[in-house]
Amino acid sequence: MTTLLLDSRTIGFVVSLLYVLLPLGVWFILRRQDDPGRLGIWVSGNIAVGLFISLAALGHGAPLPTSVLRFSVALGFAGTMLRALALHHHLGQSVAWPRMLAVLAVLMLGFEMARRSSLTDRALYVVLVMLTGTLWLCVVSSRLGRLRASTSAHAMSIAYGCAGVLLALRAWNLLFGTGESITLDRSTNSLLLTLVMVFTAAFGNIAYIGITLESVYAQAAVQTLEVDRISQAQRASQAKSERLLSLLRERDEMLHLLAHEVRQPLNNASAALQSARTVATEVATDLAPRLVGRLDRAQSVIQQITSILDNTLATTLLLSADSQLAPVESDLETLVALCLADIAPPARPRVRVEHDPGLRTAAFDPGLMRLALRNLLVNALAYSPADSPVVLQLTECEEPLAIVFEVVDQGRGIPESLHARVFERGVRGPQTLPGGLGLGLYIVQRVAELHRGSVDILPVRTDTPGAHLRLTIPQGHAM
């Protein structure tokens, strides 16, 4: 019957293979789940320990050269530190490489002093350092298990705790043992080292796989919860948006109804006043001029109310959203005539139209352009002297192709302090007329934006006071 002898070389080669092959398997399994740097530290640490074990086993057959001995011990110390640093990385702590190198240098200095003392001191020093490193691994993995609720980390802590107990027994044997303090070829030492190395090689790497996969699953669970939370928030936001859209539709319907119910009586009253004015002008009496004046003032009030109503409806229904326009080819003379009809009769003669005779049609939204041009004219008439003219110029620009409306008055002009804000909603000048809402020029700008055009305040000559505004509406491909 053949007896298998467990000598130091056999132990060393078997365990070193475990320390090399198992980490390679860990890398293959976790290469797409774990952090590459952290995984590399863990694998490198285990391989370094495996090389240390194999070189230490060779040293029991024949003494190793001093340089090789130092190298093997450095591998053992560095391997333990690297594994601990990988676990620290799992805790979210960065790897302090300068500190690690400094600690390694101090440990190697201590080994050099123990090596020069005696063989027993050298072996005891190495065992005590490895014991300290093993306890470090035990503490870090235990902390990881508590903080991450990781069963695998707790299992790793138990494994390294058992390895620490076995290394402590080895240190005790070196200090107080008889005849087995140095050699590893006796049964007690061979069994002890075999248990320590195989136990930590197998259970340490298996537990590391579990730690990483548990972390991946925990992150996936957190991401799933976050996705569910975002989905719920989106559903709630969508439901809220649908409710708001429903309320907006109801508001629009009510505004249309209100506009129809209010505008119709105003139109009837305006028509009645116009008829009364015609009759009054035909009556040969001293009261006719006074009567016509009062009728004109009433007509102006109705037109002012109509203008405010139109501006408010345009702001709330048409210009508050970037709706897509469908410009149509429209007659410019008709547009100007409609805008003049919207102005109070006494003020109409003040508007002087300078229209390029070759410019007949242009593409725009007729309703919005009528509203914008009317606002420009009403503004100019309101803020200029009652007997001063207001000029409306219609020209064409070729580069880029555009239709240009310019309104020039002889009033006080727009203060410099308001130039940057005059087209904002609700902004009014210091001499705003009663009932003004600050919507006129805002609507002009929004009409220009919807046509991809612009409205600008142009400088005026110093000898000619007033305001000069230019509305540019692109044509053709420029729109």
- Dump pLDDT digits (tens) for 70-79: 898 999 899 9
Domain boundary among 205, 230, 255: 230
Range 303-323 average pLDDT: 63
Residue 36 lies in a domain: yes
Q: Which of 468, 470, 307, 311 has the alpha carbon at shortest distance from 380?
A: 468
Do 342 and 455 belong to one domain? yes
Q: Which carries the bigger pLDDT value, residue 285 or residue 97?
A: 97
Contacts of 323 (CB under 8 A, 6+ apart): 450
339 assigned to some structural domain: yes
212 or 194, greater pLDDT: 212
The whole-number average pLDDT for the span 9-23 is 78
What would the pLDDT profile of 116-160 be if each residue is shown by its tens digit?
A: 888 888 888 988 999 999 999 999 999 999 988 889 999 999 888
CATH number for the domain harbouring residue 96:
1.20.1070
Radius of gyration for the chain, computed over Cα atoms and rounded to the nearest angstrom: 47
Give the DSSP letter of residue 317: I
Q: Which of 199, 230, 261 is the last residue of a domain?
A: 230
Do 35 and 169 reside in the same domain of the chain? yes
Decide if 271 is inside a domain: no
- Domain presence at residue 387: yes
Token look-up 């290394």 returns 167
The C-alpha atoms of residue 473 and residue 400 are separated, in whole angstroms, by 10
Q: Is residue 77 part of a domain?
A: yes
Which DSSP helix (H) or strand (E) runs through 143? Answer: helix 119-148
Is residue 46 within 8 Å of 204, Cβ to Cβ?
yes
Contact 351, 390 (CB under 8 A): yes
Structural domain that includes position 345:
325-478
Residues 70 and 182 in one domain: yes
Is the per-residue pLDDT at 218 higher than 90? no
202 in the same domain as 94: yes
**Strand 351-355 with 390-398, pairing:** parallel
Q: Stretch 176-203: mean pLDDT, rounded?
A: 61
**Residue at 11: amino acid letter:** I
Q: pLDDT tens digits, residue range 91-113?
A: 888 878 888 899 999 999 999 89
Comparing 19-28, 374-383, 414-423, the range with the smallest average pLDDT is 414-423
**320 contacts: CB under 8 Å, gap ≥ 6:** none
Residue type at position 310: D
- Higher-pLDDT residue of 60 and 330 is 330
- Distance from C-alpha of 315 to C-alpha of 337, rounded to nearest angstrom: 24
Answer whether residue 374 shows pLDDT above 60: yes
Q: Render the burial of 406-444: b for 16+ CB within 10 Å, e for the rest.
A: bbbbbbebbeeebeeebbeeeeebeeeeeebeebbbbbb
Per-residue confidence (pLDDT) for residue 2, from 0 to 100 = 41
- Last-in-domain residue among 191, 214, 230: 230
Q: Is residue 65 within 8 Å of residue 245, measured between CB atoms? A: no
The Cα 406–Cα 57 span in angstroms is 99
| Domain of residue 388, CATH code | 3.30.565.10
Same domain, 215 and 361: no
Q: Of the ranges 17-21, 55-59, 414-418, which one carries the lowest mean pLDDT score? A: 55-59
Query: Cα–Cα distance between 288 and 282 in angstroms, integer?
Result: 8
For 21, 304, 444, the CA distances from 201, given in Å and listed in that order, are 10, 92, 80
**How much is the mean pLDDT over the chain?**
80
- DSSP string for residues in 189-226: HHHHHHHHHHHHHHHHHHHHHHHHHHHHHHHHHHHHHH
Over range 245-262, report the average pLDDT. 68
Asked if 152 and 214 count as a contact pair (C-beta separation under 8 A), the reply is yes
53, two tokens: 């074990």
pTM comes to: 0.52
Shared domain check, 172 and 57: yes
Question: Do 334 and 209 belong to one domain?
Answer: no
367 domain residue, yes or no: yes
The domain tally of the chain equals 2
pLDDT of 332 > 80? The answer is yes
Q: Do residues 161 and 34 both lie within one domain? A: yes
Per-residue pLDDT at 1 exceeds 50: no
Asked whether the CA dihedral 159, 165, 168, 169 is positive or negative, the reply is negative
Residue 306 covered by a domain: no
Q: What is the pLDDT of residues 221-237, one digit of tens each?
A: 888 888 888 888 888 88
In a domain, 408, yes or no: yes
